[in-house]
Amino acid sequence: MSLHTPYRAIFCDLVSDTTLDILPLRDVSCEDYIGRAGSLSGTVPLSDRAIAERAHKIKPGRTTVYLERGGDLWWGGIVWTTNLQSNDRGVMTLGVQASTFDSYAGRRRIRTNAFETRFAQPTEQFVIARALWAHLSEGLGRSGIDLGDETVESGVTRTASWRYGDETVYQEALDQLGALERGFEYQILVYRDPADGKRIRQLRLGSPKIRTGATDMVFDRPGTILSYSLPDDATRGGTVALARGASTNNNAGAESRPTLSDLAVPTTPLPDLWPQLDLSEDHNDIGDKATLNSLAQAAVDEAAGHVQIPEISIRLGGIVPPALLGRTTRIRITDEWHPTGLDARYRIVGVKVRPAERGRPDTAELVLEEA
């Protein structure tokens, strides 16, 4: 970031969320997604001893970094690695790699008996998800994760069990629940409380999808859209899915075979003729056939026939808000491939922000899926 960048990199203590320092960060790129952790990378230039002393406060696994633009928080996460480098001219830099707060769920394992029988009876899936986040959030001390005050339920109940000693990663438990038919998505949203300016890290849940905003954002080419790509990939899609689970064979002398789901086909039939394309998933810790059936159905519905993940690059301006994930956008493109004009609606599922540097404009790449 240059001295005139609209962004600020705010480094804080992870447990208390106390601000440690605001440091220059160059060659910055950050990204956030629905469904997986996003990342941030950048370099702190250690131009003199004073800056170096300040940069000593950045401790991997104990420090957070927020990227602020125009007073709004656009990104927040945990610094997991740093890399101190000095080149042959003695120029020193500290490389910083961070991941969004949902990455914390990937670093924690369920080591409690609290979840072995707690959800033996059908329970609202949002209640289960919040219980998992509430328990793992205790490891973050006072700052924790705000579980939100949403009263909307998904209308879907589940049973679930995780035993102490199985070393189940929280992220795996959450992703497994969310991947079921009529499952849910989750994301940790960062923003400032409008009342007191306090930084908030809040759990968002949506079933089956997270959706934000009541109106569509409109992007045009020619216009706001700088570039785009529309990949169409049949190697990642399928028309029939099978899920394989744990072996339920208790006879040591017999061949061990996994529990199999029924074959699942798309809930909504594909509009055109397709050859059979097989999808397969392994869930070695699941022995319940009904759960495997739900996983197989969700998998083939998600990737029915082919997978399309469009991306557009836009110039950031005052009309683009920081909370983009889950927003519905209307894309209008007129060019040689779309001589009569493309006019389609998509949901934003990923955002990659690149601050302006060395003549490059302030841009964001939006990862889309059909709305």
Whether the predicted pLDDT of 149 surpasses 70: no
Averaged confidence pLDDT in the chain: 92
What is the domain class of 212-231+309-370 according to CATH? mainly beta
Q: Are 240 and 279 in contact (CB under 8 A)?
A: yes
Q: Are 72 and 248 in contact (CB under 8 A)?
A: no
Give residue 2's pLDDT band: very low, low, confident or very high (50, 70, 90).
very low
More confident: 357 or 259: 259
Assign 3-class secondary structure to 68-136.
EECCEEEEEEEEEEEEEEECCCCCEEEEEEEEEHHHHHHHCECCCCCCCCCEEEEEEHHHHHHHHHHHH
pLDDT in tens, 100-138: 999 999 999 999 999 999 999 999 999 999 999 999 999
Q: What is the pLDDT of residue 3?
A: 40
Distances 161 to 16, 285, 311 between C-alpha atoms, Å:
32, 11, 38
Share of the chain above pLDDT 70, in %: 95
Q: Report d(CA 123, CA 306) in Å as an integer.
A: 34
pLDDT grade, residue 203 (50/70/90)? very high
Per-residue model confidence as pLDDT tens digits over 171-202: 999 999 999 999 999 999 999 999 998 999 99
Which residues does 250 contact at the CB level (< 8 Å), separation at least 6? Answer: none
Q: Is pLDDT above 60 for 371?
A: yes
Closest CA to 74 of 308, 351, 284, 267: 351
One-letter amino acid identity for 52? Answer: A
pLDDT at 319 over 80: no
Q: Is residue 164 over pLDDT 60?
A: yes
Q: Which of 123-132, 148-157, 241-250 has maximum average pLDDT?
A: 123-132
pTM score over 0.85: yes
The Cα 47–Cα 53 span in angstroms is 11
The structure tokens listed for 183 are: 């499952």
- How is the chain split into domains, by residue range? 7-101, 108-206, 212-231+309-370, 240-302
